[in-house]
Structure 1
Amino acid sequence: MSEKKHPIVFRLASLFPAALARIEMHAKRSGGPLENIELQFSHRNKVYVGQTFAEGMREEIRAMKQLNLDEEIAACMARKRKKEAALRKEAGLIKPWYGNSQGPIREAIVTANCEYFEAEDRSDPEDLLVTYGVDKDGGEVVHILSKTKIAAFEEATLEFFEQNFPGSVRHLRLDLDEEVPHFHAVIFVTAEKTNKTRGTQRLIQPSANPLLADYELLQDVAGEHYCVFQLMLGRFSTG
């Protein structure tokens, strides 16, 4: 592997549950923007977690809503607040996250500079993988990538998610049908809060994971992790 370090890109975006079906559809290449995708290469893509995930996540959220409602009614009854319990039952199910302009689910995209993946030694055809891109003038660009380098990136990313988001990854895949290899992940972090007024409430709360609560910490941890694979954190952004 080259001694030159290349920038890793780790982007985060916030999602509302309504966006999950669209993300799953795009993952299956059955909809969404497909103009940058070489569908003839889509068989290369690898799904590690959640071949299908949208409906399962929606069901999980519905169950959280119902359990939270049941807990709050039970807490009212335990405090002998029958009127409050009746009003809460009448109000019905509420979303299990704090209201703000950002959705409670996180989508992560992880990739590296295309130069990192380029094959330096083309003597072994079994190590080569071809991808296509478009230059600034609209012309086709052909990339000859190294499967060995892709495998190193794959190993590093799988380890990163396993170590830092245990139990929270609902979808994880490696796309190899676009110009540059990259990972997509859907991260669903939950936390429980208990008090006398509402009982135990289970919430979708990204900030319960320290790396999602502190983006600078995520940058530091990712940078340290990927430098082992001759990758450094080049650009970090959130949406």
Structure 2
Amino acid sequence: MDGSNIKTDFPVVLRFDGLYPHQLGGYEAHRLRKGGDLNHVNRSRSELNQRLIGPEDWAARALAEIDEMRIENFAAELASLEKRNRKKDIERRMIEGPKQPWRSTRHGPMREVILTVNKDWFEGDAAFFGVEQTSREDEFGAHAVAWLKMNFGDDVIHARADRDEAAYHVHAVIMPRATVEIAKPRAKVPTATATRRMLQPSIHPLIQNYEAAQDSVGLWFADLGLVRGESRAAAIREARENGQKPPRRRYHAKTWKWRAEQELRLKAEAEALDADKAALDERTARVAEREEEAETVLAVAEGVASGAFVASDGEDETGLVDSKAAKPANASLEELQRRSPTGFARAAGVFGRAWERLFGHARAKAEAEADARVSSAMEQIERADTKVAEAALHLPAKTRSLIAEIRQTIPAMLRRLELSGNGLPRDSQKDQTQRDDPDDEESMDSNQ
């Protein structure tokens, strides 16, 4: 084959995951895209997935074989105990019943194998091997099947190629079958020997030695231009030998667990983005509101300065109204109030109060001065009237009667003066009321 166009910087990826027989049902559901996490799956390409090793019902056959191993092991154990005349042990085992055909382990008695390369390698040169681009997937799958059969033989009970995810990859399941002795033969009783069938991953050197497995796939896939992955174990040993801090061991999470962790991470990032967006929207709204408020205040100020807005004569609080005498403003007070109620209220209050302090003070001062002038004039009239009354005492009776008639018009004159002066002091009004009394003329006559 012509490998001149093949890139040589892509490492082949190999992973082992522990697997228990009871997990095969979920494994099959995900393989058939009927269960499990399918968010990462392109369902339109699922029909392109390909079974490489094993029959369609491989999982059911594996479970049946494991159940058969349980029964056979139990029967063989009882037969061995009977030949050795271990009656109590027979009774105990009869109560316990058949046992699972594997020793308790942290990873489980079976292994799932995953083989793949970065997706960029599969999307490489179209002229790969002189045929279509998809041949990279075919060649990788053929190499994977050959490597699996070479190292695990018939214990590879299933393998498939997935093409509906981010990168082409091969899944395989290994059921490591082993036959072990359950009782060593005695010198005089050779027939006491018995064996049992077990699931024992350590019978395969590449499962027992992960670095050896990485070396193996690196060499096997080298003719495709792929290389071995980073040798972290060697780096750790070298660092320890040199007294340096070794690099952290890489943690390979199970696929479903890794996806769950990624979903949680993406969800947290999305929630953080939503919170940031909400905060940004809130800040933007506040800035826009403040801009509208500032523009409204400026518009009101311009209207007051041009005379388009003037102070109202409200009884409760001084406000602003549109002036009919001046040229209308660009925006009416009603429009400004709709634009920013807060800004309008603030501007109207400020300019209204300023207007009141400026013109209200002058009006009050003018009214006070007018009241003072009226009061002074009324005092002068009262003094003149008193002088007239005193002088009339020395005049003839006919003249006094004429003067009395003239003096009767003075109260009306005072009232008109009071109205024109915007009100008289309370004491002046009381004195004037007393002068309106008809008995005043009689008192003058009596003085005569």
Task: Tell me the TM-score range normalised by the shorter chain.
Answer: 0.7 to 0.9
3-state DSSP of counterpart to 1:35: coil
Q: For residue 211 of structure 2, what is the aligned residue in structure 1?
A: 216
Q: For residue 175 of structure 2, what is the aligned residue in structure 1?
A: 188
TM-score by length of 2: 0.46
More strand by share: 1
Q: Quick one: distance in 2 between partners of 1:235 and 1:15?
A: 25
3-state DSSP of counterpart to 2:153: coil
Task: Give, as a single letter, the amino acid of the residue that structure 2 aligns with 1:204.
Answer: L
Q: Quick one: distance in 1 between partners of 2:107 and 2:166?
A: 30
Report the identity percentage. Answer: 31
- Note the C-alpha offset of 1:149: 1.4
3-state DSSP of counterpart to 1:166: helix
What does residue range 31-110 of structure 1 map to in structure 2 within 5 Å?
31-48=35-52, 49-110=54-115
Q: Quick one: distance in 1 between partners of 2:57 and 2:230?
A: 30
On the 8 A contact 1:9/1:235 being kept in 2, the answer is no
On the 8 A contact 1:10/1:111 being kept in 2, the answer is yes
Judging changes above 3 Å, is the alpha-carbon distance between structure 1 residues 81 and 235 closer, same or farther for their aligned structure 2 residues?
same
Q: For residue 117 of structure 1, what is the aligned residue in structure 2?
A: 122
Q: Aligned pair 1:167/2:154, yes or no?
A: yes
On the 8 A contact 1:160/1:225 being kept in 2, the answer is yes
Task: Give, as a single letter, the amino acid of the residue that structure 1 aligns with 2:33.
Answer: R
What 5-or-longer segments of structure 1 have no aligned partner?
A: 128-145
- Note the C-alpha offset of 1:30: 1.0
- Note the C-alpha offset of 1:86: 2.2
Question: Which structure is larger by alpha-carbon Rg, 1 or 2?
Answer: 2
More helix by share: 2
Task: Give, as a single letter, the amino acid of the residue that structure 1 aligns with 2:45.
Answer: F
On the 8 A contact 1:156/1:229 being kept in 2, the answer is no
What 5-or-longer segments of structure 2 have no aligned partner?
A: 185-192, 232-250, 254-448
On the 8 A contact 1:24/1:53 being kept in 2, the answer is no
- Note the C-alpha offset of 1:212: 0.8
Q: For residue 32 of structure 2, what is the aligned residue in structure 1?
A: 28
- Note the C-alpha offset of 1:100: 2.4
- Note the C-alpha offset of 1:193: 0.8
Q: Quick one: distance in 1 between partners of 2:204 and 2:168?
A: 27
3-state DSSP of counterpart to 1:234: coil
Structure 1 stretch 157-166 or stretch 82-91: which is displaced more?
82-91
Q: Quick one: distance in 2 between partners of 1:235 and 1:103?
A: 26
- Note the C-alpha offset of 1:4: 2.5
Task: Give, as a single letter, the amino acid of the residue that structure 2 aligns with 1:6.
Answer: F
Q: For residue 165 of structure 2, what is the aligned residue in structure 1?
A: 178
Q: Quick one: distance in 1 between partners of 2:8 and 2:79?
A: 61
Structure 1 stretch 166-175 or stretch 1-10: which is displaced more?
1-10
The aligned length equals: 218
TM-score by length of 1: 0.85
Report the aligned-residue RMSD.
1.9
